[in-house]
Amino acid sequence: MPIFILFAGFLALLAAEVPVAIALFLSSLAYIDIFTPMPIQIVVQRMASGLDSFPLIAIPLFVLAGNILNGAGIAARIYAFAVALVGHVKGGLAQVNIFGSMVFAGMSGVAQADAAGLGTIEIKHMKEHGYSAPFAAACTAASAIIGPIIPPSVIMVVYAVTAQVSLTKLFLAGIIPGLTMGLALMILVWVLAATGRVKAPTEPRASIPLIAITFWKALPALVAPIFLTAGMLLGFATPTELGALTVIYAVVLGFITKDLTFSSLLMHIRQSAVTSGILTLIIAAAVPFGWIISVGNYASGLLGFFESIGANWVVFLLIVNIALLVFGLFIETTAVLLIATPALLPLAAAYGIDPIHLGVIMIVNLLIGAITPPMGVILFICQHIAEIRFSEMIKAILPFYIPLGIMLLIITYWSPIVMWLPNFFY
């Protein structure tokens, strides 16, 4: 069947270590040339039309805003506030690590930015206070995936554009799942510390004045996610426009606090351009790939398969989650999302599943894949920061899959946790 050859060619190119974007492009090109009468120029035309989307402008804006805020010393202020607020809770700096990531998630839309930015501070301080380096790295990796679930989120922008759904609703849908995932991780850390499975010394309880001082210093950072959420709910601006305003806010804040210079600003712009360019290239290359799946009507064949085995919506979502987890182990998160969305949307509609709900399920699932070996990119980032062996990293992160897996099941089968906020405001 041609569709199997399309995927086989793509996977073969990945196995040959061809970059994801090039693999998507070449496999689409070969399919059009061999199995259709259409000219191969259609691939480039679809790539161009796929990038002709206003919401996609939000990607470089959110990436740049996160880089500027991180470089302007905001991460250190958030960490100091988190230490003062929850450092005395059983689990100590591990609790601070997770809570800090929940706060930082409101400014950084990329999990890698959380792991590399705030994670550098968290791992360094945890090691200095007697925590094992593998546990510090595992805690950082697990909490980093909260970033793209709580808005702003680059991967949510990608899904919203691909699925043609409201980005504002998708952002709102991620707030409660993101917060509850953070709470679930904090409960796990508490249990590990209480049972003595990990060494987790607590910090002295901070005084009210100290909490107030650290809060005041972190307030400019805390205002950013509130401003973003309020702006969306009040209809003040679109998420893309709010991304631009957040960049302006970050630049002004950085210069006021004197933590940002013109040279560092240019460095952040260059870094953001590279990150955004890579993501945009993957998005562009995935558009014709997804288009082939859509126009080939292969989704109807999949629906026929599910009906033939008597699958209801519960079984359908279970199979989807398993398939995404497997693909997420080996393929870059954005690429899987772009490939799977066109195939799954018609099936989800047939089972009465809201596309917003499906999007959050897919995003949470694929982010768990980003901290799962053998290709979990966040694992490699945290391993490098902590200076540990990859085997130590894998062993340390195993307990964190328990709360994340439970939360994935809750998000999958209890839709109100995802849909309550979007339905309340819209």
Q: Tell me: the pLDDT tens digits for 29-46?
A: 888 888 888 888 888 888
pLDDT at 246: 82
What's the whole-number average pLDDT of the chain? 85
Mean pLDDT of 41-59: 82
Contact 342, 385 (CB under 8 A): no
Residue that wins the pLDDT comparison between 397 and 39: 397
Decide: 358 and 93 in contact? Cβ < 8 Å.
no
Mean pLDDT over 103-113 rounds to 73
Mean of pLDDT values over 267-296: 83
Q: How confident is the model at residue 356 (pLDDT cuts 50, 70, 90)?
A: very high
The pLDDT-based confidence of 196 (bands split at 50, 70, 90) is confident
Residue 79 identity: Y
Q: What is the pTM of this model?
A: 0.87
Q: Is the pLDDT of residue 298 over 70?
A: no
pLDDT at 281: 85
Residue 138 amino acid letter = A
Instruction: Identify the top-confidence range among 143-152, 325-334, 386-395, 408-417.
Output: 408-417
Confidence of residue 296 (pLDDT cuts 50, 70, 90): low
Residue 412 pLDDT greater than 90, yes or no: yes
Return the residue matching tokens 């069947």. Answer: 1
Mean pLDDT for the stretch of residues 180-202? 90
End-to-end CA distance of the chain: 43
What percent of the chain is helix, strand and coil (3-state, nearest 5)?
80, 0, 20
**Does residue 1 surpass a pLDDT of 70?**
no
Q: Give the HSE-up count for residue 161: Cα atoms under 13 Å, Cβ half-sphere.
A: 29
pLDDT tens digits along 321-338: 998 888 888 777 888 888
